[in-house]
Structure 1
Amino acid sequence: MSDNEFFNATDELRTIYQWARARYAAPWAVFFAVLIRVAASVGPHVRLPGVIGGQASLNLLVAFVSMSGGGKGISDKVGRLAWPAPILELPLGSGEGIAETFTLRGKESEDNERIIAAIFNCSEIDILTGLESRQGSTILGTLKAFAMGEQLGSTNASKANSRNVPAHSYRGCVSVGAQPGHTGVIFKDTSGGTPQRFLWALTVDPDMPAEATPDPQPLDTQLPLWGPDSDGVVEVQYGPDEIRETIIAAHLARQRGEGDALDGHWMLTRLKVAAVLALMHHRIVVSELDWQLSATVMAMSDTTRDWIVTEAKRAERAKVRDRALARAVGDEFYDASRLETVKRSIMRMLERDGEQAGGDLRRRLGKREKRELFDQAIALLENEGAVSARPGEHNSVRYRIGSPVTNEVTPQNPSSEGVTTEVTRDRLPTPEDAVTTHKFTTCRKCNAGLPTSAKTDICDFCDGAPEPAPVPKPASQAALRVVHDPGAERREHLAKLDGRSA
């Protein structure tokens, strides 16, 4: 059934739609606001028949869902205009406060009457979150019992602090304003059945017209006449046999573990909606039309509930992603800071104690977090030219300050002049290279010692002199070594030459 078909199905539903359009409110939100007011107008002696188990209460819990400021307050006000019955409305407090509302203190009189019906309003779901977070809070447990019309209160040592509200002795509804992403207080108790007991109403209307229509007449708040039984109880009657058959089939499916956990109280909630629709239309018997309309109401509630669950999951994923990104950025900054600390520690050790083996440097870093960063830190230092490495004993690596080219550069000698070697173009060796690199130690003419810079095998004194005749040496006479002296050696050498010539 479409929205248009739903709100045109009866005169009462059409009136609700007209009130919504006259006051710029969402039609479905106004419908749910009227629904809980109709339920709160019915005494607690009116109950659902006990097809499965005992009788059930008509108490309703409704969550009006929208973004902040999205229309719960508007729908409440329009609902009062559409169903102007005098109903006690109270702010939602603690679980004990709900029980205290229906507890009579003292003797009943005109000034001290027992409260048997009320609507508890919670404009912001964060209030419910705060109530539930209190130590020893009973609010969620009380709401679940409240929705079923069960016994409320507690028995304490002091009679003044004891509260005992009998089952089915009160009629109450709860209206909560909820924003997507803030409904965790309800959905975290899925296993306990809290979200299953709520109807979910959307307070936004994408098709809302810009022009308002005139206010219609309020709905007739007169309830149908019924005759209670001997116990003063009135049971709502189910007209079509389909209703009882559907109730039994749903119960069997739940007993067999079939279906979604969020649909555990779905059938009971639909029965409440169908019964309240019948009462709104001044009937005590649920008709086939009421049953069909209740299916449309539950479909709208389920759609809104599923949207909230989806939005909550999306918001949670966004929070997890944001936390992960923040943690990643923080870890990256922390790791970079630790890496710089390790690099500074390595440089200090090398400056203070000179060349060391890599294993010793790693051990001297101390903490495991620093030791794990040694390889990364030493590689960066090598790449920056701050340290150089050379092979050590037993396949070890030793490190010292300076690059492989300027490894003699230290803090005390920061210049690389005279340390770096001349870089030339590669070429093949030549015969001149072999002659140049040969070392001459003695003169071949006079056997005098040559300086290390000698380029030939002839000393300066014998350069240009005739080649001497070979003179045999006595076997017993050891060869004499002449010390090269620029003055005395030359005179002695000339004397020898003169003597040979003579």
Structure 2
Amino acid sequence: MSAVAEDMWGADWEGDLAREEAKLSAVPDAAPSRPAGLLPEEFWQARPRLQHIRGYAHAAGCSGDVLLHSCLARLSGLISPNIAADSGIGGRASLNLFVATVGGPGAGKSTGASLNRGLLPSPLEDFRDGLPVGSGEGIAEAFMGTVEEETGEIRRTRGGAETPVTRRIRKQVRHNAFFYIDEGQILAKLGERSGSTLGETLRRAAVGETLGQTNASEERTRYVEAGSYSLGLLVGFQPLTALPVLTDSGTGTPQRFVWGWAEDPSIPDAPPQSPGPLDKLECLTSRWEPFEITFPQRVRDLLWRERVLRNRGELQVAELDGHAGLIKVKLSSLLALLDDRYEVTEADWQLAELMWDASCSVRDSLLARAHREAEAAKQQQEEVKLQAELRAHQAKGDDDATVQRIAIRAREFARKESGRTFGMFRKSLASRDRAYAERGVDRAEAESWLFVEEGCLCIQTE
């Protein structure tokens, strides 16, 4: 590059930089309003590892909330399926976690998902990481494979050696997976397909139930036993695309998600130093035998009391809060594992409650927005209908005036000369009035101004 070109390039670059700085300096200094549903500062300050996660996110200009939600979902897919929660209700609870992050285009939903891999590297060789979701069958297929299995028969060679006879069969060969859907609208569209099993599969996967289906052909049969897999799911939604899922509460799908915003007003102006990946978590390298995470007695009593009251019909819970206890059990357990512990403490439970409260605020904000937009759309429809009625009324008035004018013309036409036919009258009208000729003559007859006889317009005589 010549010196002149270098100077010109430098000048252009400096000019672009100056323009960008001017744009930034034009942004008001006032702190932006904080939407309801962001995790509070007290949550982040509770633990060094929570601060670490937010610091890692902020170093990449990403939301701390997004990365934490992504991290917990990924962790739920990485741990052994033998690790479960024992809260005193419903037996062993799967820690499979579904999270939904909500934000506009370019809000950093996908960035949070990609940062996950750097923050929490997988120690597993056969971990299905960041898989897309295409169908319910595809989710089960992620855990399936083909293996050689002995049949019990022996084959003898010519030399007398014995070789076990094997056959290739399909069976579950994996136990850990993390799924990521970049745009939640796809989730709603896939679920609408005729014969789709996606919704049912997701609801079963969220609680660790058996996945798959039995088909006539062995190669299409999938069977993933309950409690034999760990699965995390992260879905990115725009506000409008989240609504079809949220309003589908009758199926129980939205109740299985933890909801969070993709924005983060606390991201600093200057990029901070990245703290690097998390230290290796103990739960990712051990506990492959059955093991239960324990809970404080107060929490166990609280969950039991709520279960009893609901089943007695003495406690009514909002439809979208139907899985509140289970979600808090999952969150508190994962927060304990993130802190290298296998027992949930009161502090873990309090942090889980903060996350649940934030999730409810995001969810309720989206539903309130949907209600406002539905009301606005209804008002707009009513306004359109009213305007159409006004135009129709005005047109009717204009139409009546035209018919009356044509009726008078017909009377005058008949007075001029006897024997004038209807066809002659119609032809005498301006082209824009000819469509009103018959109605005008009918009006004139109704007014007793004339009568029609053998196709001629005749004047009434006294």
Give the TM-score normalised by structure 2. Answer: 0.71
User: Partner residue of 1:478?
Assistant: none
How far the C-alpha of 1:344 sits from its partner, in A, is 3.9
Alpha-carbon spacing, 1:227–1:158, altered in 2? closer, same or farther (3 Å): closer
How far the C-alpha of 1:166 sits from its partner, in A, is 1.2
Deviations 1:445-474 (A, max 9, x none): xxxxxxxxxxxxxxxxxxxxxxxxxxxxxx
Q: Which amino acid aligns with 1:102?
A: F
Alpha-carbon spacing, 1:96–1:181, altered in 2? closer, same or farther (3 Å): same
- Match among 159, 171, 176 for residue 117 of structure 1: 176
User: Is the CA contact (8 Å cut-off) linking 1:20 and 1:78 kept in structure 2?
Assistant: yes
**Alignment partners' CA distance in 2, 1:113 and 1:150:** 14
**Alignment partners' CA distance in 1, 2:87 and 2:328:** 15
User: Partner residue of 2:135?
Assistant: 94
**Alignment partners' CA distance in 2, 1:32 and 1:399:** 84
2:53 aligned with 1:53: no
Alpha-carbon spacing, 1:42–1:399, altered in 2? closer, same or farther (3 Å): farther
- Match among 297, 302, 310 for residue 246 of structure 1: 302
- Match among 289, 301, 305 for residue 363 of structure 2: 305
User: Partner residue of 2:63?
Assistant: 26
2:148 aligned with 1:148: no
How far the C-alpha of 1:223 sits from its partner, in A, is 2.3
- Match among 200, 206, 227 for residue 168 of structure 1: 227
- The structure number with the bigger radius of gyration is 1
User: Is the CA contact (8 Å cut-off) linking 1:85 and 1:221 kept in structure 2?
Assistant: no
User: Is the CA contact (8 Å cut-off) linking 1:181 and 1:315 kept in structure 2?
Assistant: no
Unaligned runs of 5+ in 2: 1-37, 150-167, 414-439, 451-462
Q: Which moved more, 1:245-254 or 1:216-225?
A: 216-225
How far the C-alpha of 1:215 sits from its partner, in A, is 0.7
**Alignment partners' CA distance in 2, 1:21 and 1:226:** 31
User: Partner residue of 2:290?
Assistant: 233
Alpha-carbon spacing, 1:342–1:2, altered in 2? closer, same or farther (3 Å): closer
The aligned runs of 1:29-428 (5 Å cut-off) are: 29-49=66-86, 51-85=88-122, 87=127, 88-107=129-148, 114-224=173-283, 232-238=289-295, 240-255=296-311, 256=313, 257-348=315-406, 351-352=409-410, 398=447
**Alignment partners' CA distance in 2, 1:170 and 1:338:** 70
Alpha-carbon spacing, 1:95–1:334, altered in 2? closer, same or farther (3 Å): farther
**Alignment partners' CA distance in 2, 1:227 and 1:125:** 34
Q: Which amino acid aligns with 2:282?
A: L
**Alignment partners' CA distance in 2, 1:53 and 1:207:** 39
Q: Which amino acid aligns with 2:184?
A: I
**Alignment partners' CA distance in 2, 1:287 and 1:345:** 86
| Cα RMSD, aligned residues only | 3.3
**Alignment partners' CA distance in 1, 2:395 and 2:145:** 68
User: Is the CA contact (8 Å cut-off) linking 2:172 and 2:224 kept in structure 1?
Assistant: no
**Alignment partners' CA distance in 2, 1:185 and 1:317:** 17
User: Is the CA contact (8 Å cut-off) linking 1:66 and 1:202 kept in structure 2?
Assistant: yes
Q: Which amino acid aligns with 2:303?
A: I
Tell me the SS of whatever aligns to 1:201.
Answer: strand
**Alignment partners' CA distance in 1, 2:94 and 2:137:** 20
Alpha-carbon spacing, 1:400–1:178, altered in 2? closer, same or farther (3 Å): farther
Q: Which amino acid aligns with 1:166?
A: E
Greater share of strand residues, 1 or 2?
A: 2
How far the C-alpha of 1:64 sits from its partner, in A, is 0.3
User: Partner residue of 1:459?
Assistant: none
Tell me the SS of whatever aligns to 2:251.
Answer: coil
How many residue pairs get aligned? The number is 363
**Alignment partners' CA distance in 1, 2:147 and 2:404:** 83
How far the C-alpha of 1:343 sits from its partner, in A, is 4.4
User: Is the CA contact (8 Å cut-off) linking 2:133 and 2:179 kept in structure 1?
Assistant: yes
User: Is the CA contact (8 Å cut-off) linking 1:16 and 1:27 kept in structure 2?
Assistant: yes
Alpha-carbon spacing, 1:259–1:132, altered in 2? closer, same or farther (3 Å): same
**Alignment partners' CA distance in 2, 1:345 and 1:161:** 74
How far the C-alpha of 1:350 sits from its partner, in A, is 5.5
2:64 aligned with 1:15: no
The aligned runs of 1:455-494 (5 Å cut-off) are: none
User: Is the CA contact (8 Å cut-off) linking 1:226 and 1:284 kept in structure 2?
Assistant: no
Tell me the SS of whatever aligns to 1:175.
Answer: strand
Deviations 1:105-139 (A, max 9, x none): 45489x99823211111111111121122112222
User: Is the CA contact (8 Å cut-off) linking 1:95 and 1:140 kept in structure 2?
Assistant: yes
Q: Which amino acid aligns with 1:202?
A: W
Give the TM-score normalised by structure 1. Answer: 0.66
Flag the structure with more relative contact order, 1 or 2, with Cα contacts below 8 A and sequence separation at least 6. 2
Alpha-carbon spacing, 1:137–1:323, altered in 2? closer, same or farther (3 Å): farther
Alpha-carbon spacing, 1:352–1:163, altered in 2? closer, same or farther (3 Å): farther
Q: Which amino acid aligns with 1:322?
A: Q
Q: Which amino acid aligns with 1:235?
A: E
